[in-house]
Amino acid sequence: MIIPLFVRNKTESLRAYRFPLLYLLLALSGPLAAEGAVYPSLDFGGLVFGDIYYVPSNHLESGDGATGLVMRRAYLTLDVDFSERWFARVRGEANQDGTFETYEFTSQFKDLYLGVNMGRQQLLAGLTSTPTFDLIEKIWGARYLMRTPMDLQGVASRDTGLSVQGPLNASGSLSYRAMWGAPLDFSNDGNPNSRLMGALNWSPGKHWTLDLYMDTESRENQQDWNTWQVFAGFQNERLRWGVQFSKQDRKDNPSIELASAFIVASLNERSSVIGRIDRLFEPSPRGNGIAYIPFDPSAPATMFVGAYEYDLTQDLTLAPNFIVIDYDRNDAGQRPETDVHLRLTAYFRF
């Protein structure tokens, strides 16, 4: 079986590379499968989300009054369990250009790793999500509307290297996540510099979590970047909320310093309301380079997100939503024009 993973480039968006991935996985699984068990176990799926949008106001001339239809992300995922201990994931991503009213495709690997469960500990090798991102993303649970705050502002949500995680006590209320990111430029969401990351998590109750995170990133100019983050969250069947404060010191480069809070509340079995506020205490260093939702790079800003989420079917969600980015005055004493995005977002899983 031959599985298409991703599109080759922008100008050949309908062609696909083909890679005999399944043959490789089957070959690897043989000596690893537990005797008498049915392995490998394969799970193939994907998701697509995009928007019909209108931008009545934007600090960029190209964005002011922009309207269109965009497929922001499409994922294809293959999960393989080789045995009770060994597993792997391959995930490809395709997305349209993040510029207003531009619709060409790009593609990349999103995940590409091999993992093993060692008792209560888990080790991953390859391209995978970072400790900066993974816990907050899981509780936020609405990436189809908006990326998590540090991810949005340019801190890599993926890295290629070695990661390990697991509990620190018998009850599992204390746990850790650690990762070494190799200096490899492998994914658009990745980081080409060596990075050491670590997080300590405390869950005082079934629904509560407190997470402390730090990392250090080696840079060629010997001025290492350092990040620290604190996050508190709650989740049950009807309600999720979280608050965080994050700071990345970039030495001579503009720093990231932000606070964020979100809430997702179920109204019934099919619908929810979502709200989020991000406060940037410093101007966005990624600025106009942020795909789909550029920030003016000259002034601190507050972003408001609101949405009504409705499950039309088990696999299809529709969410009318808005994004408003309000700016402080910049060093020149001017206030950039407020950004307003009105969207109808569709999210399909299979």
Per-residue model confidence as pLDDT tens digits over 273-300: 999 999 999 999 999 999 999 999 999 9
CA separation for the pair 222, 43 (Å, rounded): 44
Q: Residue 6 has what pLDDT?
A: 30
Mean pLDDT of 75-100: 93
Q: Which residue has the tokens 């002034």?
A: 299
Share of the chain residues as helix, strand and coil, in percent rounded to the nearest 5: 10, 55, 40
Handedness of CA 152, 310, 347, 79 (dihedral sign): positive
Q: In degrees to the nearest 10, what's the CA dihedral of 150, 155, 159, 164?
A: -50
Handedness of CA 314, 75, 292, 136 (dihedral sign): positive
Q: Residue 222 has what pLDDT?
A: 66
Confidence class for position 35, pLDDT limits 50, 70, 90: low
Q: Residue 3 has what pLDDT?
A: 31
pTM > 0.95: no
Neighbours of 172 (CB within 10 A): 12
For residue 32, the SS3 value is helix
Q: Classify each residue of 79-107 as buried b or exposed e, where b means 16 or more C-beta atoms within 10 Å of its C-beta.
A: ebbbbeebbbbbbbbbbbeebbeeeebbb
Mean pLDDT of 145-150: 97
Quick check: 236 and 263 in contact, CB under 8 A?
Answer: no
Pick the closest to residue 140 from 235, 73, 214, 228 (CA basis).
Answer: 235
Q: Residues 185-195: pLDDT tens digits? A: 776 677 888 99
The answer to whether residue 49 scores a pLDDT higher than 80 is yes
Q: Residues 121-134: pLDDT tens digits? A: 999 999 999 999 99
Q: Residue 36 has what pLDDT?
A: 56
Confidence class for position 96, pLDDT limits 50, 70, 90: confident
CA separation for the pair 125, 182 (Å, rounded): 11
The answer to whether residue 23 scores a pLDDT higher than 50 is no
Can the peptide bond before residue 40 be classed as cis, meaning omega within 30 degrees of 0?
A: yes
Q: Residues 238-252: pLDDT tens digits? A: 999 999 999 999 888
- The amino acid that residue 140 corresponds to is W
Q: Residue 188 has what pLDDT?
A: 67
Residue 98 phi/psi, 5-degree rounding, is -80, 5
The alpha helices in the chain, defined as continuous H runs, are 21-29, 134-140, 149-152
The answer to whether residue 181 scores a pLDDT higher than 50 is yes
Q: Residue 313 has what pLDDT?
A: 96
Mean pLDDT of 314-337: 97
- The amino acid that residue 26 corresponds to is L
Q: Residues 161-173: pLDDT tens digits? A: 999 999 999 999 9
Quote the tokens at residue 158.
């993926």
